[in-house]
Amino acid sequence: MASPSSVETQSRHFASPEPDMPKVKKDGLRGAVKFLDHQNFSRLAHILGLNSKAAVKVWMESDSFKPAYDELVRDWIESQWNKAVDGMRRKRGPTLKQVVKAISNAPEGRYTSPIGTTNKDNFAEIDHYALCLVRLRAANESGFHGIFLGKTCSDEDKDKRLWQAMLRGAADAWRSHKKTMKFDSR
């Protein structure tokens, strides 16, 4: 058996210590998206083209999801939670259909900006969700770890898949918020 070349040895020695990023399954984006896919990590992984629950969690913590979603939570969702009183259920957000309609009817530049900042002064609830979806789509189409990078998928399918991830993020964030509220009230 031949010994490894010096190039192979160097590449192993100097490999960057990046965390394992999710692997995209071949043909993983062909499955139909169902309304409740966000409730099951295995199903969510399948529609996102990821291998496992762990890969979904890693992706949701990556730059392909977390910055845009955290901005939605910070700028809109938390304000709604803070208005809720004990025992009150959280208000439902807009539907995907409403958000897509808002995006398509918006004037040029409403949710995108050449300088990277968006004026949110007159934003309503639907605008915050639309901005998040637009940013998620962009990050996942062109970002290094984007789930749509190099994949053929319609914008409608991309939006459905990302919407399921947003619903999962909302459910996880709400559970975390409720736990925090219980600890704060003691």
Structural domains counted in the chain: 1
Question: Domain for residue 159, yes or no?
Answer: yes
Helices (H), 14-124: 41-48, 53-60, 66-72, 78-83, 96-105
Question: Domain for residue 135, yes or no?
Answer: yes
Least reliable range by pLDDT among 40-54, 78-92, 111-125, 137-151 = 78-92
Q: Stretch 88-95: mean pLDDT, rounded?
A: 75
Question: Domain for residue 57, yes or no?
Answer: no
Q: What is the pLDDT of residue 84?
A: 62
Question: Domain for residue 142, yes or no?
Answer: yes
Question: Domain for residue 79, yes or no?
Answer: yes
**What's the mean per-residue pLDDT of the chain?**
79
Instruction: Extract the tokens encoding 126.
Output: 């639907």
Percent with pLDDT over 90 in the chain: 42
Cα(4)–Cα(27) distance, rounded to whole angstroms? 35
Q: Stretch 47-69: mean pLDDT, rounded?
A: 93
Closest residue by Cα to residue 134 from 122, 118, 153, 115 = 118
Question: Domain for residue 124, yes or no?
Answer: yes
pLDDT band of residue 170 (cuts 50, 70, 90) is confident
Question: Domain for residue 129, yes or no?
Answer: yes
Which has the higher per-residue pLDDT, 134 or 83? 134
- Is the predicted pLDDT of residue 131 greater than 90, yes or no? yes
Least reliable range by pLDDT among 35-39, 67-71, 81-85 = 81-85
Closest residue by Cα to residue 64 from 175, 131, 165, 147 = 147
Closest residue by Cα to residue 49 from 168, 173, 145 = 145
Question: Domain for residue 49, yes or no?
Answer: no
| Residue 148 domain boundaries | 63-184
Report pLDDT digits (tens) over 3-28.
554 444 444 444 434 445 555 444 45
Q: Say how far residue 6 (Cα) sits from the centre of its chain.
A: 41
pLDDT band of residue 156 (cuts 50, 70, 90) is very high
Rounded-to-5 percentages of helix, strand, coil across the chain: 55, 0, 40
Q: What is the pLDDT of residue 119?
A: 83
In the chain, the amino acid numbered 168 is R
CB–CB of 129/162 below 8 Å? no
Report in angstroms the alpha-carbon separations of 175 from 1, 27, 86, 118. 55, 33, 14, 29
Report in angstroms the alpha-carbon separations of 161 from 10, 83, 165. 40, 30, 7
